[in-house]
Amino acid sequence: MEPHEQPDRATRTLSDVIRIDAAIALVVGGLIHLQLYFVEGYRDIDKIGPSFLANVVALLVVAGAIVLRGDLLLVRVAAVAVSVGTIVAFALTRTDDGFLDFRETGWNPRPQTAIAMVAEIVVIVLVATSFLPRLAWRRGPTLGTPVAAATLAVLAIATVGLGAVWAGDQPEDVVAGGAVAVSIEGFAFNDVADGDNVVNVSVGDTVTWTNADGPTHNVVGVPVFVSEDLATGGVFEHTFTEAGEFAYICGIHPQMSATVVVE
Ligand SMILES: [Cu+2]
């Protein structure tokens, strides 16, 4: 094709489809964070909760900007920056230092983490195609006002609607059993009796941990007691046969720490 020749209709349509898909991928990434915030209890975590909301807002604003003015370099750079930032934040939470005092391991929470990461990578790849001359994003007319308005309306309704549904869909309180019960809730270990993260028991007592959170947690008190991964409602028990102070953490979120004191 000659440099001055206009892209044919099929190529222009493809470029518009890619552009809308990039906006949808951005919104998917935002919805994942919105769901984690409301349903999975991330709103209870200092700094991470607000940062999830900030991420949702950033992804939505950029998605809207891409639909309306994806021709602007600034908008496309912002889309890539937000996606790369999300991936970097994910990676930092997997390091020993964590991110915003928060650590998480592996691909937890599943499957949201994997979906969000795929969405961010899809955004970066799709936006990158807009730098190819043939697939350049233009300011109309093929992506006209009706298409842009309809796309934005669908994305906005999906976000507000799902947000409203999720805001009302709190994890139900799980009543833990056992003589001494610890509820894992709000990314913390809470003695059911007094809410404290230290439980006092006598030798021979059994402590029962119940995961009342959305995300998976576990109980790691090496070498005395180690649980499997506990999904919501999952229960772990351990009977303490020796006196002592036993510190433990969640192996998935190592900032979650607590102690069992056996007398
Ligand atoms: Cu945990």
pLDDT in tens, 200-232: 999 999 999 999 988 899 999 988 899 999 999
The CA 159 to ligand 1 mean position distance, Å, reads: 27
Q: How many CB atoms lie within 10 A of CB 15?
A: 21
The CA 99 to ligand 1 mean position distance, Å, reads: 15
The CA 215 to ligand 1 mean position distance, Å, reads: 7
The CA 28 to ligand 1 mean position distance, Å, reads: 24
The CA 218 to ligand 1 mean position distance, Å, reads: 6
Checking if the pLDDT of 5 tops 70, the result is no
The CA 20 to ligand 1 mean position distance, Å, reads: 36
Rounded to an integer, the average pLDDT of 123-142 is 87
Taking CA atoms, 94 is separated from 13, 102, 104, 108, 242, in Å, by 40, 9, 6, 10, 34
Looking at mean pLDDT, say which of 3-12, 52-61, 176-185 comes out highest: 52-61
Q: What is the pLDDT of residue 105?
A: 86
Checking if the pLDDT of 2 tops 60, the result is no
Whole-model pTM: value is 0.79
Per-residue confidence band for 171, with pLDDT thresholds at 50, 70 and 90: low
The CA 107 to ligand 1 mean position distance, Å, reads: 13
Q: What is the pLDDT of residue 7?
A: 66
The CA 195 to ligand 1 mean position distance, Å, reads: 17
Which domains does the chain show, CATH number per domain? 9-167 (no CATH), 180-262 (2.60.40.420)
Checking if the pLDDT of 119 tops 70, the result is yes
Q: Buried b / exposed e across 39-69, counting CB within 10 Å, b at 16+?
A: bbbbbebeebbebbbebbebbbebbbbbbbe
Q: Write the single-letter amino acid at 27.
A: V
What's the residue count for the chain?
263
The CA 40 to ligand 1 mean position distance, Å, reads: 11
The CA 231 to ligand 1 mean position distance, Å, reads: 10
Mean pLDDT of the chain: 88
Which residues neighbour ligand 1 (ion) by CB within 5 Å? 217, 250, 252-253
Rounded to an integer, the average pLDDT of 167-185 is 68
